[in-house]
Amino acid sequence: MIDVSVIITSYNKDKYISRAIRSCLKQSFNNFEIIVVDDASTDNSKTIIEGLGSKIVPIFLKENVGVAEASNVGICSALGTYIIRLDADDYFSEYALLFLSEILDKNHDIGFVYGDIIRVDEEENVLERINLDTPEKIFKHGAGIMFRKSYLEKLGLYNKEFKNAEDHELLSRYIKNFNGYHLRLPLYRYSKHDTNITNNEEERKQWEQKIK
């Protein structure tokens, strides 16, 4: 049985996708799989992903469906007890999977667990630490959270109608039903650059207004 399934969704992230995958392969934890869902990229992503061979489980979508639906494709293919999403332009600390999965293993009353974030620039220089110590901060950073797959399935996974803020929408449903735990360690590296989808704050706010 596989403990953790890492879901990486990617659209035209050939500049970053290899780093994201490498950060998974360097984990101090062994019992996991890496599912890479390429959302019909038009750049060199497919060649890079195929070059990693048996180290990952690649899924190539024929048309672009967005992060929410692409994530659902990955989750439905996952064999792990726990699910964690990694954005293609971000990367993990080497202890991320070990520490987060251990919390869920030892605490059956906890439905999801997350650490803090280190924001880095294009050269991976540290810009700041983001402590996810409020619901508002968690809602803005949905990747890097480890969920119990069975709980995600009960909730119906991501809402594919959301083309932005899909992480916020899912978490708003999840926290109403299951307890979370904040592990105060910086386990996720968030790469800030000009092509981040979250850079479009106005569009994100419009989608957040649709959340019930």
Coil, strand or helix at 186: strand
Q: For 179-197, write each residue's pLDDT tens digit.
A: 999 999 999 999 876 655 4
The Cα–Cα gap between 8 and 26 comes to: 15
**Cβ atoms within 10 A of the Cβ of 93, count?**
20
Q: What's the pLDDT score for residue 166?
A: 81
**Residue-averaged pLDDT of the chain:** 88
In degrees and rounded to multiples of 5, residue 203 shows phi and psi of: -65, -40
Q: What's the pLDDT score for residue 207?
A: 46
Helix intervals (H) in the chain: 17-25, 45-50, 67-77, 96-106, 135-139, 149-155, 166-174, 201-208
Q: What average pLDDT does this structure show over 83-110?
A: 96
Q: pTM to 2 decimals?
A: 0.90
Task: Record the tokens describing residue 77, joined without a space.
Answer: 């293919």
The Cα–Cα gap between 142 and 108 comes to: 21
**Cβ atoms within 10 A of the Cβ of 58, count?**
16
**Tokens 């293919």 -> residue:** 77
The Cα–Cα gap between 119 and 44 comes to: 26
Q: What average pLDDT does this structure show over 152-170?
A: 81
Q: For 3-38, write each residue's pLDDT tens digit.
A: 999 999 999 999 999 999 999 999 999 999 999 999
In degrees and rounded to multiples of 5, residue 196 shows phi and psi of: -55, 130
- What residues have CB less than 8 Å from 165, skipping those under 6 apart? 204, 207, 208, 211
DSSP string, 89-134: T-EE-TTHHHHHHHHHHH-TTEEEEEEEEEEE-TT--EEEEE---S
Q: How confident is the model at residue 138 (pLDDT cuts 50, 70, 90)?
A: confident
